[in-house]
Amino acid sequence: MRTDPLRVTGYAMLSALGGSRDEHLRSLIEGRTGLGKPPFELPFATAVGAVTTPLPELPAPLAPWSTRLARMSAQLIAQLDEPLRRARQKWRPERIAVLLGTSTAGADSTERAYRAFIADGRFPDRYDFLRQHTFGAVLHVVAELAGARGPAWMVSTACTSSAKPFASATRLMATGMIDAAIVGGVDTLCQMTLHGFESLQALDRAPCRPFHKDRLGISIGEGGAFALVERTGDARVLVEGVGETSDAYHVSAPHPEGAGALAAMKEALHFAGRAADDVDHVNAHGTGTKLNDSAEAKAIGALFARPIPVVSTKCYTGHTLGAAGALEFAFSACAIEEGWVPPALGADELDPEIRLHVPRDVVRGTYRRVMSNSFAFGGNNVAILVGAP
């Protein structure tokens, strides 16, 4: 069945760089990272990308669902107010889907509540697992705030979680089940994920340096991005194709040659009816670990003959885990709309085995198509081909 490109009529961004598209652009063009000290005590050193933007309170009827994750979602929905108002005039509420991704869900709320439970033998009075932790809790908040009554689900495939909803929306649109969707994802910092990546010896002590010869690992971040996609309307950018593959190799390590990553990028091109030469820039997954960056670089090198700029924006925001796919879709959209690619921070001495064009300065140009990569535990791979309208 033919699938048409998704028309992105609005998008919103929230990360350590700020709570608006403009704030993100300012940091990117100035080469200013959002990574810094963690907002809570940890028994090890690491840099994180914490959101410092004030978050709105939820309306009173939604107060029982109020968590940092839900309030971050509310901040993103508020950024989309104008295009959402137009969409609601055009489409019936039951034809507007909410398709999001998260890795942590409400883990930050639960870990705080559980710590209190261990100390006092009881959960805090306002803690409610079903309204503050589950995947459906944030779906409920977003659907209510957006006035959307269509199909709603949360994808949770670790670090590809918020990239996959773009593919889900493409399918629901192609099969006539919806006319519009809010797609994207959110994740919050929490102790459990930081301790977990520390246990894997995957955290850098300093801000991460994707593709650097001495890179030492990840910096974790939090944030999110939502996009409004519609069947018709004035598109800012298009989602031309989404590739989804598996490594079938290891639960936490990537295929060493990047086979699954390469297959995902090829599939995105196939669904879009495009060739590799049509792509002008790659927003890499680029976590800053030895294995991940090496495997991804091999995949990118195998696919693209031209030396197109390859940047991992995780050096600005940290790895926002389940939100990374959507946030980096938004960075890809910015490159197309603004006509520049940000400098890759911390990549001053490239790994000699990584033969990619990783720019250290802003690269201005015409970007018609950007490939945005996301890879995850479980060998889960997603590549989104974002195009100019």
Partner 1 sequence: MTSPRVAVTGLGFWATGFPTVAAWIAGAPDATADKPQGKALDRVNRRRAGPLDRALADVVAEAIAQAGVDPASVPVVVGSSIGEAVTMIGLLDEMWRNHNPMSPADFTMSVHNAASGLISISNKNRGMTTSIAADENTPAAALLEGIGLALTREVPVVVACADEPAPPTLVQHAPPWAMLASAIVLAPQGAARALAHLEVEERGAPTIAPGPFAPLLLQNPQIGLALVVDAIARGAPGVLPLDRGTGRGHVARISVGAP
Q: Can 255 be counted among the known catalytic residues?
A: no
Q: How many residues sit close enough to partner 1 to count as binding (CB under 8 A)?
A: 65
Site string for partner 1, 191-210 (x = CB under 8 A): xx--xxxxxx----------
Q: Can 159 be counted among the known catalytic residues?
A: yes
Of 139, 145, 310, 333, the one binding partner 1 (CB under 8 A) is 139
Q: Positive or negative CA dihedral for 373, 204, 188, 15?
A: negative
Of 86, 88, 90, 246, the one binding partner 1 (CB under 8 A) is 246
Catalytic residue among 133, 159, 315, 334: 159
Interface with partner 1 includes 53 (CB under 8 A)? no
The enclosing H or E element of 99 equals strand 96-101
CA distance 234 to 8: 8
Q: Dig out the tokens for 328 from the structure.
A: 């980096």
Catalytic residue among 208, 255, 285, 334: 285
* Nearest distance, CB of residue 33 and partner 1, angstroms: 26
The enclosing H or E element of 167 equals helix 164-174
Interface with partner 1 includes 177 (CB under 8 A)? yes
| Backbone torsion region of residue 149, taken as left when φ is above 0, otherwise alpha when ψ lies between -120 and 50, otherwise beta | alpha
Of 60, 176, 275, 366, the one binding partner 1 (CB under 8 A) is 176
> Which amino acid is residue 68, in one-letter code?
R
Place of tokens 């990546």: 197
Site string for partner 1, 142-161 (x = CB under 8 A): --------xxxxxxxxx---
Helix, strand, or coil here: 241? strand
CA distance 344 to 381: 22
CA distance 279 to 5: 16
Stretch that binds partner 1, among 65-73, 123-131, 293-301, 362-370 (CB under 8 A): 123-131
Interface with partner 1 includes 135 (CB under 8 A)? yes
CB atoms within 10 A of CB 187: 31
Of 27, 46, 109, 110, the one binding partner 1 (CB under 8 A) is 110
Q: Can 319 be counted among the known catalytic residues?
A: yes
Pairing of strands 310-311, 340-341: unpaired
Question: Which residues have a catalytic role annotated?
Answer: 159, 285, 319
Interface with partner 1 (CB under 8 A): 1, 3, 94-95, 103, 107, 110-111, 114-115, 117-118, 123, 129-130, 133-137, 139, 150-158, 164, 168, 170-172, 174-178, 191-192, 195-200, 244-252, 259-260, 263, 376-380
